[in-house]
Amino acid sequence: MIIHRYKSVTSTNDVLKEMAEKGAPEWTAVVAEQQTEGRGREGRRWYSPRGSLYLSVLLKPAILPMELQRMPLIISYALAELLMQDGGDFALKWPNDILLNGRKVAGVLLEARTQGKDVHYIVAGMGINISLGQNSLPADLRDRVAVLEEIIGDWSIESMIKRIYSSLKIHHGSFRGEAWERIREKWSDYADWDTPVLLREGNRKVAGYPQSLSDDGSLVLRTSEGDVAVHSGDIVNGY
Ligand code: BTN
């Protein structure tokens, strides 16, 4: 495993993607103390000041494009599992948010290069809020984010990177067969099935009660028009 460390980058995902294009081996990683253009899902910005973890890891599993939708769930589960080791009220929110005390503490941004039936690589970008200087947080984030410093644990960035690597290695092949079934079950154990949600998928909004996680990684919602599987998008809120 080769870890490239930077003081500041635009986005660790972008730096690692460039390395991947030049043939970097699997498990190459980029970690930065801060990001100037950190990216979240759905084109959002990921606020990335010093004090938290911004890590991207290059994965090259023998996965098919149709199985890719399972990967965010696997990576977020792998992260949640290691964070939970020290206790704390953690939960998972589809597709790849990790919540602490009901607020977002970590997010995962996966970017894959595919061609036909081949997945050349996956850049798994992980942002974990360790300490954000709550007072300097943009107002719209203040009530919605949590930091690991709220609870006691070993939150040093170095030890966190080591633990992430071992968790990713354990779950590296979990996108198929029994291993995927186990992740699906465990992921479901930590998700909130009681709060109705409004899900935005492109221009479409679907309101309903989350029912289950499908085999392909989509979320099944019970709506007024029956059960609907949602493949991408964001849970806007409970409503
Ligand atoms: C989300 O929840 O919207 C995903 C957030 C992912 C943020 C991480 S930080 C490291 C990597 N580099 C980025 O620009 N984004 C991901």
Parallel, antiparallel, or unpaired: how do β-strands 3-9 and 90-93 relate?
A: unpaired
User: For 14-58, how does the pLDDT look when each residue is reduced to its tens digit (9 = 90+)?
Assistant: 999 999 999 999 999 999 999 999 999 888 899 999 999 999 999
Whether residue 238 is predicted with pLDDT greater than 50 in this model: the reply is: no
Question: Quick one: pLDDT at residue 192?
Answer: 84
Ligand 1 pocket residue status of 38, Cβ below 6 Å: yes
For the entire predicted model, the pTM comes to 0.93
Distance 39 CA to ligand 1 centre (A): 5
Question: Quick one: pLDDT at residue 237?
Answer: 57
Write b or e for each residue in 161-175: b if 16 or more Cβ atoms lie within 10 A of its Cβ, otherwise e. Answer: bebbbebbeebbebb
Distance 228 CA to ligand 1 centre (A): 28
Q: Do residues 188 and 77 lie in contact, with contact meaning Cβ atoms separated by under 8 Å?
A: no
User: For 145-171, how does the pLDDT look when each residue is reduced to its tens digit (9 = 90+)?
Assistant: 999 999 988 899 999 999 999 999 999
Distance 15 CA to ligand 1 centre (A): 13
| 70 vs 52: CA distance, rounded Å | 26
Whether residue 87 is predicted with pLDDT greater than 90 in this model: the reply is: no
Ligand 1: which of 109, 200, 234, 235 to mutate, judged by most atoms within 8 Å of the beta carbon? Answer: 109
CA of 97, closest atom in ligand 1: 2
Q: Do residues 52 and 129 lie in contact, with contact meaning Cβ atoms separated by under 8 Å?
A: yes
pLDDT band at 205 (very low <50, low <70, confident <90, very high): confident
Q: Rounded to a whole number, what is the distance in angstroms from the first to the last CA of the chain?
A: 44
Distance 229 CA to ligand 1 centre (A): 25
pLDDT band at 239 (very low <50, low <70, confident <90, very high): very low
Residues in the chain: 239
